[in-house]
Amino acid sequence: MPAPFRPRKRLGQHFLVDPNVARKIVEALQASPEQPVVEIGPGTGALTGLLLERYPRLTALEIDPRAIATLQTRWPALDVRHADVLTVNWAELAAEKGEKLHVIGNLPYYITSPILFALLDARDVLAEAVLMMQREVAERLVASPGSKTYGILSVIAQLWATPALLFPVSRHVFRPRPRVESAVVRLTFAQPLPDVDPTLLRQVIRTAFNQRRKTLRNSLRRLLPPGQTLPAPWSQARAEMLTPADYVALTRWLQRSSP
Ligand code: SAM
């Protein structure tokens, strides 16, 4: 086995050292054994060994060559690829496997949000994702309208997927310990997307939340056709009061009223 390496903070390397937590995470995956599973950031393999026992079609994506060397020594037959998860072509990988992918990973926390947005964008070729992340981000994913943590990520995640917060994880089960607490979330990508222009929908959500203190009548003004005003009750509401379904209805209204 190669000498253990020094964890790199800038790569978000906090390794899970509690086998019970590792087992719980792997058991949260709903894939059956013949389905393709992709692990993001396997590191030294806290989840990888357990995954391989159940899922022979496992592919692991890791950016650190030192971790790849460790994994290849432990599991010579493992399909581990040197990749930056943010540039992975999920559609190509799913086409290679011939079916939708089940994604799992203890995420590198410095890029949690971009990874989540990339997975949500790739929803057509994904079945589910079981992900450990900062508890604060996990709470944002499932936040309800009106709460402080409800924002762009909540609305997009709840429209593009069904997020479920499964269980919290203490910072004490990692080496080195991260500063923040963690939680495991499952995103299920089964439901059909709402019948609305997705680019406009995203633009509406972003524009509204970027000025979350303003009423929508003001914050969305520049998206309206000249001379149009937003109807009540949307006009007087603020971004955090609208449900994901309200954003869809509002975007449909904008589509209809644009020339
Ligand atoms: N799965 C291991 C565990 O549970 O102990 C490691 C988890 S650690 C929190 C995050 C892992 O993601 C590290 O192995 C790190 O090298 C890897 N990583 C960081 N940035 C990455 C990127 N852009 N693409 C792929 N892997 C990355």
Which domains can be identified in the chain, with CATH numbers?
10-188 (3.40.50.150), 198-257 (1.10.8.100)
Pocket of ligand 1 contains residue 17 by CB under 6 Å? no
Atom number of ligand 1 nearest to Cα 39: 1
Pocket of ligand 1 contains residue 115 by CB under 6 Å? no
Query: How far, in Å, from the CA of 16 to the mean position of ligand 1?
Result: 11
Q: pTM for the whole thing?
A: 0.96
Q: Tell me, what's the pLDDT at 257?
A: 85
Please give the Cα distance from 216 to 252 (Å, whole number). 15
Q: Tell me, what's the pLDDT at 2?
A: 53
Q: Tell me, what's the pLDDT at 18?
A: 98
- What stretches in the chain show pLDDT beneath 50? none
Pocket of ligand 1 contains residue 42 by CB under 6 Å? yes
Q: Tell me, what's the pLDDT at 226?
A: 86
172, amino acid identity = H
- ipTM comes to 0.99
Q: Tell me, what's the pLDDT at 3?
A: 57
Q: Which residues are annotated as a binding site?
A: 14, 16, 41, 62, 84, 106
Q: Which residues are annotated as a binding site for S-adenosyl-L-methionine?
A: 14, 16, 41, 62, 84, 106
Structure tokens at 124: 């057509």
Q: Tell me, what's the pLDDT at 192?
A: 81
